[in-house]
Chains A and B, each alone.
Chain A
Amino acid sequence: MEETILKVSDLSYSYGSETLRFPDFACDSNSHLLISGNSGVGKTTLLHLLSGIRHVQKGSVEILGSKLEEMNQSELDKFRGQNLGIIFQQPGFIKSLTAMENLLAAQYFGGKGGDRKKAEGLLAELGIPEKANEKTQALSGGERQRLAIARALACNPAILLADEPTSSLDDGNAQIVYELLVSEADRNNALLIVVSHDQRLKSKFTNRVSL
């Protein structure tokens, strides 16, 4: 059965006098989603609304049957930690911690602390098991991106949200990262939502929303 994981309806967000309106869309567990649009149309705002980093002002965001607009700050924090894995455009980490410790910290903050096996498995899947005890500054750009994907998946999220994961990469690396995202999302039973203006991704997603 295809269950509805994400449903957005009548959503808009105002910065002062400027109002961003978003189209209604929904997706189920089998359909990865691309949210595309040019700069300035509110892609990051939408991503932050979907992940509860920004409060919903108007309209509705429903994830796994829970309405984000009805939650308070701490409920949103908890919900986000448990159900969402976010990959930001620039992979950033807690500098004082090693790669492995960053994954463990993500699990701790997500309320699923101490699953070292899962963390080791993710580093292995992403091809960077030998980097577990390195500080994140010592990693290369590609390794950092892989670690960011591992971190987003560390808490077994239902949804994997990626913000412009490919836009700064050349064709070859963009393809590698895309494949990595899809395969990791599938392997971890997560719905992949990519927010990007990267034209190269358009042909790869059947389920698309244009802003």
Chain B
Amino acid sequence: MNIFKISFKNILGRPLNALLTIIMLTMGVALTSLLIMVSASFDESFKKNIRGVDMVVGAKGSPLQLILSAVYQIDNPTGNIPKKEADKLSKNPMVAETVQLSFGDSYKGRKIVGTSHAYLELYGAKMADGKPWSETFEAVVGATVAAENGLNVGDTFYSAHGADENAEVHGDHPFTVTGVLEPNGTVLDRLLLTSPQSIWDVHHSEPISDEEKEITAMLVKFKNKMGMISLPRMVNKNTNMQAALPSIEVNRLFELFGIGIATLQTVAIVLMVLGGISVFVSLLNSLKDRAYEIALMRSMGASRGKVYAMIIIEALLLGLIGVFFGLLIAHVGAIVLDSFTAAELGIQFDLFAFYSGELYLVLATFSICFLAALFPAVKTVKMDVSNVLSTYAN
């Protein structure tokens, strides 16, 4: 027999009370933990994809749409731009590197992007199997796409017009898979890559001149920060193209998400506070009923410190159970969410990974339980044992 056992039995002795408190704490912890995971993954995933991209150039339209389509491939493109305009911009002395992207076609709902090998280098992609494309109608497939469709090196597929799964198939130009990428958590996982020439050939029966060639967007990396200030303005003012800065657009997007996240955060905080209040009320009630029991313990020689510790441990045990189930639910919930977001947005949760925010969450939960137990504990320890014993005896 020891103080932990007695505290634990005390919790078991009032199962309904304990259950209510544990449910509150569990929900609070689960929601908070899920929020931590979602925000961290969103952040991580969105930042990973704009690493090395200072500016995106595409057809005029919504800058957010341009970023979402060209960088994340989760929206329709704003239109096409002439390749020679893009080439001219590439020669600007403030530009360090560019990657031209031609997209609009798809295979089974996954986008096909005509580009150069620089696109692979931008995201540090590694080949899991095979080699990058070299001739037209050779393609490299991202890890998610390969897994979904069972595509291997040597397989062939036909592209479809548009991003729709049931779109019209370009039946006369089969693509051959020359390589499969390793998963790396970027947009590449969800794409099929080929040369831009393949895209042009699919859409034009006759070979076209350089003048007629179009691309969808171009990712630009500046030589220095100065480019950030003057180039976008120059593009937007003097050309028919649009320039957008991913960092600004992503921040804008996060602000939009932010409202939702802030609402959920408030709900989570309210749940945690309710959990704390529940611990407080439940302890206060149970200790009122148990005053005689506690007085008995004192009569058996229990010191004030032991009684104090017993009450605090009771609260912390409730917190521990809440934390355990809360984190369990959150991480199981993350797998469910993961199966959706990994395919659609390329956001991956790791069930067994713990985010540093969760450590603070655990500490916060224990602190709330400790604080909630403080007043009931002090009140109980201060009671007049003799009075309680003689009152109940009569």
Contacts and interface: CB of A to CB of B under 8 A. Distances in A.
A111 interface: yes
B385 interface: yes
B301 A89 contact: no
Contact of A53 (B298, B303, B394): B298
A106 B301 CA distance: 8
Interface in B289-311: 290, 292-293, 296-306
A169 interface: no
B6 interface: yes
A94 B392 contact: no
Contact of B301 (A80, A92, A97): A80
B229 interface: no
A86 B295 CA distance: 12
A88 interface: yes
Contacts of B9: 94, 96-97, 101
A89 B393 contact: yes
Contacts, number: 93
Interface in A57-91: 73-74, 77-78, 80-82, 86, 88-90
B184 interface: no
A77 B265 CA distance: 47
B2 A113 contact: yes
Question: Binding site of B, secondary structure by majority: helix, strand, loop or mixed?
Answer: helix
Contacts of A97: 6, 9, 13
B303 A92 contact: no
A108 B299 contact: no
B304 A48 contact: no
Contacts of B302: 77, 81, 109
A54 interface: yes
B301 A82 contact: yes
A77 B292 CA distance: 17
Interface in A128-167: 151, 155, 163-164
A167 B299 CA distance: 22
Interface residues of B, number: 30
A182 interface: no
Contact of B392 (A45, A81, A92, A105): A92
A89 B392 CA distance: 9
Contacts of A111: 301
Contacts of A95: 13, 290, 293
B353 interface: no
B300 A163 contact: no
B301 A109 contact: yes
A194 interface: no
Nearest to B390: A44
Interface in B346-393: 385-386, 389-390, 392-393
Contacts of A178: none
Contacts of B298: 53, 77
Given A107-B1, A163-B393, A92 B296 contact: yes
B297 A109 contact: yes
B386 A73 contact: no
Interface in B304-340: 304-306
Interface string A35-66: 00000000011001001011000000000000
A90 B393 contact: yes
B139 to A, nearest CB: 68
A101 B301 contact: no
Contacts of B290: 95
A45 B292 CA distance: 17
* 6 A-B pairs closest in CB distance: A81-B301, A96-B13, A104-B1, A109-B302, A109-B300, A108-B1
15 contacts: A53-B298, A80-B300, A88-B389, A89-B393, A92-B292, A94-B9, A94-B296, A101-B1, A104-B1, A105-B1, A105-B6, A108-B2, A109-B300, A110-B300, A110-B301
Given A88-B389, A94-B6, 13 more contacts: A53-B385, A77-B298, A77-B303, A80-B299, A80-B300, A80-B301, A92-B292, A94-B297, A96-B6, A97-B6, A97-B13, A104-B1, A108-B6
